[in-house]
Amino acid sequence: MAKRKVGIVSCSGEEIPEGTISRVATRLVLEKLRPEETVTICLPLFLAGGEDERAFAQVFPTITVDGCEKRCAKIGTEKYSGNPTATIVVTDLLGKYPKLNLKSRDELSAEELKFAEEVAEEIAKRVDEALSLESLDKRDEQCRKKEK
Amino acid sequence: MPEEGKVAVVACAGMDKALGSVARDSVFRVVEVLRPDKVELLSLPPLLAGVPSQSGLVRSLPVVIVDGCAERCATKLVVKSGGKVSGRILVPTSAKKYSLTPDSASNVGLNGERLSEMIAEEIASIVDKLTEKK
């Protein structure tokens, strides 16, 4: 049986540094923290009508990672496939680091990279939760079938 | 309100392809270094989410697009949003032209940086032509 995966839909936000944080954090999850459990859903392709991306997001759990309160990734995912399992907004997490002043839209400083790693850890937690909920739901369904 | 006489530039921001990262880097180079007074940065997700500042940009300024792959998502989305496409660059074509291949989506490497520099110069030339006509 194919292993279940979680699709990560990340903001690309070129306008603000938080968009870059979203992008870097998502790549950390895909490549280091949860490489076997996650795939990326390309947001521009998703918005432009990519059938594979939309079909995946309709069937598998998704986590949206937005840079700011505009929540473009969340809005797009809800519009074209369904509610994401979890949503993360980088500006919300920034509240825990009042002294951190994000500046880079392109290359991150050491401090900004550290923050991106924290965001990545949050995403990874949500991935674990999404997969745990899925396996719980499956077990419940199997129990219900047996009872019938 | 977007400033008249400027050009909007937009890149695909494909997360899973190295060439998407190059597209993004090249646009930053133009916006922040090469032609900061002549361009406005357009971002696809807020454009599609209906953010007014982005909708205003795409409808009022000529748009130069940098697509990261043959899907041409940035082109499709700009056209869908009613934008006037005035210049297009396809990064895979540029990569072949300059024989430069980036390392990965997370770290484009020296070749990827060089490629984004070359593409940024192409974008800057297009911007110069478009702003000269005005």
Instruction: Tally the domains of chain B.
Output: 1
Q: For the CA atoms of chain B, what is the radius of gyration?
A: 14
- Separation CA B119–CA B123 (nearest Å): 6
- Report the pLDDT value the prediction gives residue B17, as an integer from 0 to 100: 85
Question: Is B117 part of any domain?
Answer: yes
Specify the long-range contacts of residues A53-61, CB closer than 8 Å, at least 24 apart: A54/A80, A54/A81, A56/A7, A57/A7, A57/A9, A57/A81, A57/A82, A58/A82, A60/A4, A60/A5, A60/A6, A60/A7, A61/A4, A61/A6, A61/A7, A61/A85, A61/A130, A61/A131, A61/A133, A61/A134
Q: Does A10 touch chain B (CB under 8 A)?
A: yes
Contact B49 A49 (CB under 8 A): no
Half-sphere exposure of A122 (CA within 13 A, CB side): 22
For residue B15, tell me if it sits in a domain. Answer: yes
Contacts with A11 from chain B: Cβ below 8 Å:
45
Average pLDDT over chain A, rounded to an integer: 87
Establish if B79 belongs to a structural domain.
yes
Predicted confidence (pLDDT) per residue in B49-97, tens digit: 888 989 999 999 999 999 999 999 999 999 999 999 999 999 999 999 9
Contacts of A18 in chain B (CB under 8 A): none
For B47, which residue in chain A has the nearest alpha carbon?
A72
Q: Quick one: pLDDT band at residue B37, thresholds 50, 70, 90?
A: very high
Mean predicted confidence (pLDDT) in B14-37: 92
Would the CB atoms of B15 and A42 count as touching at under 8 Å? yes
Residue B2 inside a domain? The answer is no
Q: Is B61 a member of any domain? A: yes
pLDDT at B2: 54
Chain A neighbors of B13, CB-CB under 8 A: 12, 14, 23, 43-44
**B1 pLDDT more than 60:** no
pLDDT score recorded for residue A139: 66
- For residues B12 and B74, is the Cβ–Cβ distance under 8 A? yes
CB contact under 8 A, A14 and B27: yes
Q: Count CB-CB contacts under 10 A for residue A108.
A: 18
Q: What is the per-residue pLDDT for B3?
A: 64
Higher model confidence: residue A47 or residue A140? A47
pLDDT digits over B3-24, tens only?
Answer: 678 999 999 877 778 999 999 9
Verify whether the Cβ–Cβ distance B24 to A12 is below 8 Å. Answer: yes
Do the beta carbons of residue B19 and residue B93 sit within 8 Å? Answer: no
Task: Specify if B62 maps to a domain.
Answer: yes
Mutate to test the interface with A, among B48, B69, B116, B117 (most CBs of A within 10 A): B48
Asked if residue B1 belongs to a domain, the reply is: no
Please check whether residue B53 lies inside any domain of the structure.
yes
> Are A25 and A73 contacting, i.e. CB atoms less than 8 angstroms apart?
no
CA angle, residues A73, A10, A52, in degrees to nearest 5: 80
pLDDT above 70 for A2: no
Mean pLDDT over residues A122-148, rounded? 80
Q: Is the pLDDT of residue A54 over 70?
A: yes
Measure in Å the smallest separation between the Cα of A70 and chain B Cα atoms.
7
pLDDT > 90? residue A88: yes
Predicted local distance difference test score (pLDDT) of residue B120: 97
- The per-residue pLDDT for A36 is 95
B86 CB-near residues (< 8 Å, 6+ apart)? B7, B62, B63, B64, B126, B130
Confidence at residue A121, expressed as pLDDT on a 0 to 100 scale:
97
Nearest to B44 among A40, A44, A105 (CB): A44
Report whether pLDDT(A67) > 80. Answer: yes
A82 touching B, CB under 8 A?
no
Can you list the pairs that B82-88 forms with residues at least 24 positions away whose Cβ atoms lie under 8 Å?
A: B82/B58, B83/B8, B83/B58, B83/B59, B86/B7, B86/B62, B86/B126, B86/B130, B87/B62, B87/B63, B87/B123, B87/B126, B87/B127, B87/B130, B88/B64
| Per-residue pLDDT at B133 exceeds 70 | no
Q: Which domain holds residue B24?
A: 7-131
> Could you give the count of Cα atoms lying within 13 Å of A65 in the half-sphere of its Cβ?
35
B91: domain CATH number? 3.40.50
Least CB–CB distance from B73: residue in A10, A23, A48? A48
